[in-house]
Amino acid sequence: MSPTTDPRITAPEPSTDLAEKTGQGQSGQPCDPEGEDLMNAATFSPPSLAVGPNVYIEYCDRVSLAPRATWIQTELFLTFPSPTLASITILPSVENAGRFRVWMNNLSLPNGEGEDGKSKMKVPEGVVVKEDGWVLVSDRKIEGGFPELKTLKQRIRSLVQPSRDLGHSDEKGHTAPA
């Protein structure tokens, strides 16, 4: 008896969404909750753009500042995990010798309204808020050296979570704003 005439063999049921019915993709491998076949790159979706505060560490690649930038990136992720900070990006720069800047954007700048009806906030010392929404948190050349990690964390905390306690990295006498 040939396989096509054997009544015990049936054709698979047509399915438009194999992952929904079986929890497996075309490869037979499990699918993640978004329906991506974990072994088929054609089903992958790119991550959505981060919504929330973003940190950018701009550093000079000519003088090998990448290790410092990645160390600060790691420390900030450990102190301010998602969603407190949506992303921390390191950006090498070869045009600007010795540059090491820490920037932020996509901040909601809270703390009430001023007399003119515009939002006001207590800007930490050493932080520059630009009109286009970018915030310069630290610049090595202006400050005369690399930012202390403790100071950097305090400045970022003041911008994204003023009430957060940083433990041993906190300044003495820090109290959360009312």
> Residue 24 — pLDDT band, cuts 50, 70, 90?
low
The stretch 55-80 carries a mean pLDDT of 94
Structure tokens at 109: 């700048």
Phi, psi of 146 (to 5 degrees): -70, 150
Determine the pLDDT at residue 27: 54
> Residue 108 — pLDDT band, cuts 50, 70, 90?
confident
* Alpha helix segments (H runs only) across the chain: 18-22, 66-79, 140-143, 149-160
167 DSSP assignment: G
Q: Is the pTM of this model over 0.85?
A: no
User: Over 60: is that where the pLDDT of 112 sits?
Assistant: no
Q: Is the dihedral of CA 116, 121, 122, 127 positive or negative?
A: negative
Q: In this structure, how many other beta carbons lie within 10 angstroms of the beta carbon of residue 108? A: 10
Structure tokens at 17: 């969404």
Judging by beta carbons within 10 Å of its beta carbon (0-12, 13-18, 19+), is residue 10 exposed, middle or buried? exposed
> Residue 19 — pLDDT band, cuts 50, 70, 90?
very low
Domains of the chain: 23-52 (no CATH), 55-169 (3.40.30.10)
53 DSSP assignment: -
Q: How far apart are CA 154 and CA 172, in angstroms?
A: 11
Residues 6+ apart with CB under 8 A from 29: 37, 38, 39, 40
Q: What percent of the chain has pLDDT over 70?
A: 68
Residue 58 · residue 99 · CB < 8 Å = yes
| Average model confidence (pLDDT) across the chain | 78
Determine the pLDDT at residue 75: 96
> Residue 151 — pLDDT band, cuts 50, 70, 90?
very high
Q: In this structure, how many other beta carbons lie within 10 angstroms of the beta carbon of residue 90? A: 16
Determine the pLDDT at residue 156: 94
> Residue 92 — pLDDT band, cuts 50, 70, 90?
very high
> Residue 67 — pLDDT band, cuts 50, 70, 90?
very high
